[in-house]
Amino acid sequence: MMAGIYRCILLLIVGLFFSSLSYAKNTEIPSYEEGISLFDVEATLQPNGVLDIKENIHFQARNQQIKHGFYRDLPRLWMQPDGDAALLNYHIVGVTRDGIPEPWHLDWHIGLMSIVVGDKQRFLPQGDYHYQIHYQVKNAFLREGDSDLLIWNVTGNHWSFEIYKTLFSLKLPDIAGNPFSEIDLFTGEEGDTYRNGRILEDGRIESRDPFYREDFTVLYRWPHALLGNAPAPQTTNIFSHLLLPSTSSLLICFPSLFLACGWLYLWKRRPQFTPVDVIETDVIPPDYHARHVTS
């Protein structure tokens, strides 16, 4: 009887041991798989309110999808619940691969800006690569009363492969330690609040499990006095400017207006078919001959 109990306990311990090993394996990218092993973002808010971001992206390229490089999508505006919108103004400082400058260019889409990294004429061999995308963003934070707020989607959710680990850190100018009054994290499908991560004592945020096509959005709040010299974010209300547009609202609405005008132009140039009246008669003309009938 006792031997049977000990045997069951031993089997239970062995099962738990191997299940923990399999879970640990799932948190590390397999050597044959293509994906991002680490997405490490270092963000700094400068005294003038400009957000300086260095994205250190560690790729495991196996020539499955990563053959020449990759593209990084970034939002061009953010919307507030009251209908206000702000344009995000980007300045790309540079892109490197393993510390060496890498070619890149920009593609513009409705609501998105894509940084296309790599040379389509050059094949990227299989290997592990460390890319760094360094850019700066104006108009990135919000101002709410006596506090400032940053809400930032760290990785974006358009990657076509898994991200195994994510790290994010935010620093304020000339301030050491953790000066933030609130730190939060939102992960999962867009709009979800499932927390696939943890907040560290020094204010950094790291993921807990790999994720695929999901948000990794962070929230940081701090007293306004810590960034008192930074100008307030410039916003515009799209709905109030539909009839009396300003320069900023025209820039926001221009892509949609351009598409609408293009559609109207194509619709106006569509083929026109004019119906022809056919005279009906029951009398065969006297000069009608059988050769007029064709098969």
Whether residue 100 sits in one domain with residue 245: no
Cα dihedral 111, 116, 121, 123, rounded to 10, equals: -130
pLDDT value of position 77: 86
179 assigned to some structural domain: yes
pLDDT value of position 50: 96
Residue with tokens 């999808």: 65
Whether residue 226 sits in one domain with residue 115: yes
What whole-number distance in Å separates Cα of residue 206 and Cα of residue 106?
Answer: 29
pLDDT digits (tens, 9 = 90+) for 56-91: 999 999 989 899 999 999 999 887 766 778 889 999
4 assigned to some structural domain: no
Range 42-46 average pLDDT? 97
Whether residue 169 sits in one domain with residue 51: yes
pLDDT value of position 32: 87
Q: Are 222 and 179 in contact, with CB atoms under 8 Å apart?
A: yes
What whole-number distance in Å separates Cα of residue 183 and Cα of residue 199?
Answer: 8
Please measure the distance between the N-terminal and C-terminal CA atoms of the chain and give it in whole angstroms: 98
5 assigned to some structural domain: no
Which residue, among 190, 232, 235, 217, has the nearest Cα to 83 in the 3D structure?
235
255 is in which domain, residue-wise?
239-268
Whether residue 134 sits in one domain with residue 155: yes
What whole-number distance in Å separates Cα of residue 84 and Cα of residue 2?
Answer: 71
Handedness of CA 154, 141, 111, 83 (dihedral sign): positive
Whether residue 206 sits in one domain with residue 69: yes
Residue 163 is given by DSSP the state B
pLDDT value of position 43: 98
Residue 39: pLDDT above 80?
yes
Whether residue 222 sits in one domain with residue 131: yes
Whether residue 196 sits in one domain with residue 122: yes
What whole-number distance in Å separates Cα of residue 131 and Cα of residue 56?
Answer: 6
Total count of domains within the chain: 2
Q: Are 47 and 229 in contact, with CB atoms under 8 Å apart?
A: yes
pLDDT value of position 158: 83
What whole-number distance in Å separates Cα of residue 54 and Cα of residue 133?
Answer: 6
Q: Are 234 and 139 in contact, with CB atoms under 8 Å apart?
A: yes
Which residue, among 93, 91, 72, 77, has the nearest Cα to 155 in the 3D structure?
72
pLDDT digits (tens, 9 = 90+) for 148-177: 999 999 999 889 899 999 999 999 988 888
pLDDT mean across residues, the chain: 81
Whether residue 160 sits in one domain with residue 64: yes
Cβ within 8 Å of residue 71, ≥6 positions away: 107, 114, 115, 116, 117
Whether residue 160 sits in one domain with residue 256: no
Which carries the bigger pLDDT value, residue 24 or residue 114? 114
123 assigned to some structural domain: yes
What whole-number distance in Å separates Cα of residue 235 and Cα of residue 246?
Answer: 11
114 assigned to some structural domain: yes
Whether residue 219 sits in one domain with residue 93: yes
Whether residue 128 sits in one domain with residue 247: no
User: Can you give the CATH number for the domain in which 211 is found?
Assistant: 2.60.40
Is 0.75 topped by the overall pTM? no
pLDDT digits (tens, 9 = 90+) for 244-287: 455 555 555 566 666 777 777 777 776 665 555 555 556 656 66
Longest dimension (CA), the chain: 118
Whether residue 259 sits in one domain with residue 149: no
What whole-number distance in Å separates Cα of residue 102 and Cα of residue 213?
Answer: 25
pLDDT digits (tens, 9 = 90+) for 195-224: 789 999 999 999 999 988 888 999 999 999
Helices marked H in 60-140 — which ranges? none
Q: Give 58-92 as a DSSP string.
A: EEEE-SSS-SSEEEEEEESEEE-TTSEEEEPEEEE
Cβ within 8 Å of residue 250, ≥6 positions away: none
